[in-house]
Structure 1
Amino acid sequence: MPYLNPIPTKFSPTLAETRKRVISLYRHWQKSVPTIVIEYRVNYPQAVLRTRIRSEFEKKRHLTDIGAINIALFRGRAELEETLNNWKQTSHLADIIEKKEPEDKQMKFLDSFLAGQN
């Protein structure tokens, strides 16, 4: 059973340092995919997990505030630690992998409603 040692929470003072930490976390997630597939006996190919991890990082790509980036890094590291230490159930992991994005139909309705068309 893999065990990921906890690390102290660190606040990066510059964008360059936060960028290095984000890349390091991303690589650690990607390198952990084979272990996750084996430990959780997931019925998804590794490529699906890698794509899902990539999409989660892409969601936060627009962040420019150092504080917000540091919070996202903390949460990402906590998720990785929980996953590798088997503190999650297989169903939790499956929910994360199968998470669907909001439907366009609902967003179109809200956009038109807020624009005063309906």
Structure 2
Amino acid sequence: MPVVQPAVTRFSKTLVESRLRTIGLYRDWQKAVPEIVRDYRISFPSSIVRQKIRAEFEKNRSLTDIGAINIALFKGRAEYEETINCWKQINHVLNYFDDAMKPPPQKVTDANFVERFFSGQN
């Protein structure tokens, strides 16, 4: 079990510096995927884990305020350290993948509705 030493909290002064820190954090997450899959015994392929990491970074792509970017980087680094050091439980990690585990929604038709109604699914 690897131990990641806690990083000193840094704040970027420019967008260029924060971009470099973001790329570094993203690379650290992507490199750690095999360890995460192994340590937490995740039952789906590592490509799904990589996609989820990418999606988490894409959610904050539109941030332009340097303070908000610094906070997002701090939270991302904290999540990384907690995950790699196994300070999380398996269900904490699997909560990120609830969307990937859910079946796609079905179109509601009259016949489909009646079948679901009689089976008790509303």
Q: Which TM-score bucket, shorter chain as reference?
A: 0.7 to 0.9
Q: Does 2:18 align with 1:18?
A: yes
Q: CA-to-partner distance for each residue in 1:43-89, whole Å, 9 max, x for gaps?
A: 01000000000000000000000000000000000000000000001
Aligned-pair CA distance for 1:99: 4.4
For normalisation by structure 2, the TM-score amounts to 0.80
Q: CA-to-partner distance for each residue in 1:3-40, whole Å, 9 max, x for gaps?
A: 00001100100000000000000000000000000111
The whole-number CA distance in structure 1 between the counterparts of 2:74 and 2:99 is 21
What corresponds to 1:29 in structure 2?
29
- Please tell me the residue identity of whatever aligns with 1:79: E
What corresponds to 1:9 in structure 2?
9
State the SS of the aligned residue for 2:32. helix
Instruction: Percent identity, please.
Output: 57
CA RMSD in angstroms, aligned pairs only: 1.0
What corresponds to 1:72 in structure 2?
72
Rg larger for: 2
The whole-number CA distance in structure 1 between the counterparts of 2:23 and 2:99 is 23
Unaligned runs of 5+ in 2: 101-122
Aligned pair count reads 100
Task: Report matched runs for 1:87-102 at 5 Å.
Answer: 87-99=87-99
